[in-house]
Structure 1
Amino acid sequence: MENLRFDSLLVHGGLESGPAGSTSVPIVQSNAFAYNSAEELEDVFRGRAVGQVYTRLGNPTTEALERRLAIVEGGGTAIATASGMAAITTAVLTILRSGDEILSSSSLFGGTFSLFRDTLSNYGITARFVDPLDLEGFRSAINDRTRLIFVETIGNPKLDVPDVPALAGIAREAGIPIMVDSTVTTPYLANGTVLEADILTYSTSKYINGTGTTIGGVIIDRGTFNWDNPKFPHFEQFYKKYRAFAFTARARKLVHKDIGACAAPFNSYLLTEGIQTLALRMERHCSNALALALFLKDHPRVAWISYPGLKDSPHHAVATKLYGDRYGGLLTFGSGDKASAFKIINGLKLASNLANIGDSKTLVIHPASTICADYNAEEKALMGVTEDLIRVSVGIEDPRDIIEDFKQSLDSI
């Protein structure tokens, strides 16, 4: 059938019959691929024929995952990587060179903040951070060295919601691409077409996988940016041959190949299985998160709560415009101080205390002492991390059990 709706695309999109009529993606657990003649292998290496060479460069199981993710994102091409951070690193280094600058949202996952602030600076790439809600701040911060705008769909863990299409418009005005990390929202809330992103990156370890069993990432190139641009002379040879998908060509033939942060075939298989149930799980994550947020909002031990699904959230209007009545599975709340935050976490019996999101199970963490522990007070404030903040990745358990777990812990302090 053509023109399948989103939920059906998750199950059937890009799926091809395997050996003996198998309807699951086969696991091709091989590091290299043999050819009958030297001429055949030469043709593949020179691009005269299509074929597999080495799993670092491509693998049938991983290609199946890439095909399916590209389809549910509304078209384009995909490159699966070893992790979400590998996806961001590969994508950024495909575009930026020494002397270039990236203009990034200040509301970032800690690993991305570290990559931009610390690691890229060692290679002559400068990151400038702007409040993602300040559109004019982004516009005025662009200079003649800016080559990329980067933003998260929903800040993690700040949970602010930028107007991504508006930021995409600013990028277009400046003649630079916008890269969007949609880990928290997934294509279930909004795909690349809705967000008007040129490139998307996200960790497939989270909601795509859904069970906390594997690590992975993906880069989606929607083919919407014109790389025939004097700001990007290093794309010239790729644009001449690959046109709209010059980014994918440069990433695959250089950065992805040379860095080698490729997806393992078995991980790719697990992720293709996870894709099928994404809509069902995300629907439950969203509804459970809203139910928990409404409970926490009225609990006397909760000093504040942030969830874009709450009608009094300052981010509710933009989130509703972009994502409809679905606001994701993450929420944060504060208890007043670090000591009480620790007591709440230690008192939970159902939720797990660990550094992950997007699992079927409810997860909690105290970011200030863990994933953001290496940052100073000013940097934590930039990311919206306070000493009393607890991040909750709301699972798909019965919402009554989740609420009862938080109630008994809060009531005990």
Structure 2
Amino acid sequence: MSDRLPGFSTLAVHAGAQPDPTTGARATPIYQTTSFVFNDADHAASLFGLQAFGNIYTRIGNPTNAVLEERVAALEGGTAALAVASGHAAQVVVLQQLLQPGDEFIAARKLYGGSINQFTHAFKSFGWNVVWADPDDIASFERAVTPRTKAIFIESIANPAGSITDIEAISTVARKAGVPLIVDNTLASPYLIRPIDHGADIVVHSLTKFLGGHGNSIGGIIVDAGTFDWSTGGKYPMLSEPRPEYHGIRLQETFGNFAFAIACRVLGLRDLGPALSPFNAFMILTGIETLPLRMQKHCDNAKAVAEFLAGHPAVAAVNYAGLASDPYHRLARKYAPKGAGAVFTFSLKGGYDAGVSLVSKLQLFSHLANVGDTRSLVIHPASTTHSQLDDAAKVKSGAGPDVVRLSIGIEDKEDLIADLEQALSA
């Protein structure tokens, strides 16, 4: 191509990929191997010493996974990426590079229920402490900052409520505190929002959701924006101090604006081991090729369904930022002008029992714990994904007892509306 910067749809199909040099295969092959042969002893030593890039062992890196990493980094506008086994694995690997026992990170209250559980309970075993802030009150992030704060974590579009987070405002807080802003961009995908453009330093995804898009493969990814100076103030010794396992290399000094992605690979993935299988990487790559087409259809359908629900007598409220009446509509127009996403919630006048009943009566919607599928999905968060929270915490996270979450697929919108109509009438 010329010097023209490729567009999003072109990157979704081509970024990171070339015809296979041996066979000429146009689709990226599945390199289903554990290990890779070294050229000689010196080549092996240079790979293990981080003096050369190349393949050693699929737990650390794989050519199929490398195409996926380069593609998502290109779509997000980052310098490098690392694919791992799941979105939860991505969060563990990211925070392992940033936190020492006793350190803190600030997280928005409106998060996926599994992340709330991971942050509140599992991370205690590592001595990592979460401090909660309200994404609707930017000052609450400022109040939460202490000398122990090492990161801020938010979702671009919050799960399950579909509310839009003011990334730029929270980025300003992070900059003032001298800590990186981590944004989970799973529900938006880079088609709708690119958090790095708004001040994010690290982006994570559950590849399982909209990027893969077909509900057939689990994966996660970490994208390094290349924007944070890890040597400032000695806060991040994993990146700024000599690494004894690599003969004293300082990752920030050696790898510059993709040092964080390298740290996640050679200090996190290498030792914790949550590797993504090459087969899953292949499946997710195939899904990403149609991401722009799918996401626009998802969003168009979601808006139509939300408008229908907003006028239904059995519905108490609809929380969808694509509606002009929604309190997050202004932020949606700023951050996601192509659409406010495909995951949102609505409240039923019949409360908890009505929510449980509705999901059992839907026929086209699948009742399961996932989002971002081509198929439309439904769940009652208070009895499932957020059931580990007390009632007050459920409400704060957008998963109150009367709330139903929808993930709108790419079917015909008229069929989705008809299914909801029959279930609500019943």
TM-score normalized by the length of structure 2 = 0.94
- How far apart, CA to CA, are the structure 1 residues paired with 2:55 and 2:399? 45
Tell me, what secondary structure is at the counterpart of 1:26?
coil
Partner in structure 2 of residue 60 of structure 1: 63
What is aligned with 1:291?
Answer: 304
Relative to 1, partners in 2 of residues 1:23 and 1:133: Cα closer, same or farther, differing over 3 Å? same
Q: Structure 1 stretches (4+) deviating beyond 4 angstroms?
A: none
Provide the residue aligned with 1:270 in structure 2: 283
Report if aligned partners of 2:162, 2:319 keep a CA contact under 8 Å in 1: yes
Whether 1:109 aligns to 2:112 is yes
How much is the aligned-residue C-alpha RMSD, in angstroms?
1.2
Tell me the matched-pair count. 412
Per the alignment, do residues 49 and 247 of structure 1 end up closer, same or farther by CA in structure 2, a change over 3 Å counting? closer
> Cα deviation per residue 1:350-401 (whole Å; 9 max; x = unaligned)?
1100000000000000111111112212221221211111100000000000
Equivalent residue number for residue 348 of structure 1: 362
Matched, 1:83 2:86: yes
Instruction: Please give the residue correspondences for 1:1-12 in structure 2 after superposition, counting only pairs within 5 Å.
Output: 1=1, 2-12=4-14
Worse-superposed segment, 385-394 or 190-199: 190-199
Partner of 2:293: 280
Q: What secondary structure is seen at the aligned counterpart in 2 of 1:167?
A: helix
Partners in 2 of 1:75 and 1:374 — Cα distance?
A: 35
The counterpart of 1:374, out of the listed 370, 384, 388, is 388
1:324 to 319, 330, 337: 337
- Bigger drift between 367-376 and 279-288 goes to 367-376
Matched, 1:69 2:72: yes
Amino acid at match of 1:291: A
Equivalent position to 2:236, from 229, 232, 235 = 232
3-state SS of the aligned residue for 2:121? helix
In structure 2, do the counterparts of structure 1 residues 325 and 16 end up closer, same or farther at CA, with 3 Å as the change threshold?
Answer: closer
Q: Which residue of 1 aligns with 2:146?
A: 143
Q: CA deviation at 1:36?
A: 4.6
Contact 2:82 2:222 in 1 (8 A): yes
SS at match of 1:21: coil
Deviates more, 1:116-125 or 1:220-229: 116-125
Matched, 1:396 2:404: no
The amino acid of 1:254's aligned partner reads L
Distance 2:309 2:284 in 1: 33
Once the two structures are superposed, the pairs formed by residues 11-410 of structure 1 within 5 Å of their partners are 11-18=13-20, 19-230=22-233, 231-236=235-240, 237-336=250-349, 337-410=351-424
Deviation track 1:282-306 (CA, whole Å, cap 9, x = no partner) reads 0000000000000000000111111
Spell out, residue by residue over 1:289-342, the C-alpha distance to the aligned partner (whole angstroms, 9 max, x if none).
000000000000111111000100000001111111410001211113121112
CA deviation after TM superposition for structure 1 residue 195, in Å: 2.8
- The residue type equivalent to 2:208 in the other structure is S
CA distance in 2, matches of 1:345, 1:124: 39
How far, CA to CA, are the matches of 1:58 and 1:359 in structure 2? 27
Deviations 1:183-212 (Å, cap 9, x if unpaired)?
000000011332321000010000011110
- State the 1:277 CA deviation: 0.1
Distance in 1, matches of 2:107 and 2:43, equals 45
Distance 2:54 2:259 in 1: 20
SS at match of 1:280: helix
Code of the residue aligned with 2:236 in structure 1: it is: F
Q: Is the 8 A contact 1:227 1:244 kept in 2?
A: no
The AA in structure 2 aligned to 1:353 is H
Q: Give the Cα separation in 1 of the matches to 2:12 and 2:262.
A: 26
1:253, distance to aligned residue in structure 2 (A): 1.5
Q: State the alpha-carbon separation in 2 of the partners of residues 315 and 40 from structure 1.
A: 54
| 1:110–1:142 Cα change, 3 Å | same
Distance 2:51 2:252 in 1: 18
Q: In 2, distance between residues paired with 1:94 and 1:16?
A: 32
Q: CA deviation at 1:33?
A: 1.1
Structure 1 residue identity aligned to 2:170: L
Deviations 1:52-107 (A, max 9, x none): 11100110000111011111111310000100111111111111111211011000
8 A Cα contact 2:79 2:257, kept in partner: no
SS in 2 for 1:220: strand
Report the Cα distance in structure 2 between the residues aligned to 1:78 and 1:196, rounded to whole angstroms: 17
2:308 match: secondary structure: helix
Structure 2 CA distance for aligned equivalents of residues 234 and 61 of structure 1:
28
Aligned partners of 2:356 and 2:376: how far apart in 1? 17
CA distance in 2, matches of 1:173, 1:381: 30
Contact 2:156–2:193, Cα closer than 8 Å, also in 1: no
Unpaired runs of 5+ residues, structure 2, are: 241-249
* Percentage of identical aligned residues: 39
State the AA in 2 paired with 1:181: D
CA deviation string 1:238-268 (max 9, x = no partner): 2121222222222111112111001100000
* Conserved 8 A contact 2:161-2:405: no
Relative to structure 2, which stretch is displaced further, 17-26 or 76-85?
Answer: 17-26
Unaligned runs of 5+ in 1: none
Query: Tell me, what secondary structure is at the counterpart of 2:254?
Result: helix
Q: State whether residues 194 and 322 of structure 1, in contact with CA within 8 Å, keep that contact through their aligned partners in structure 2.
A: no
SS in 2 for 1:246: helix
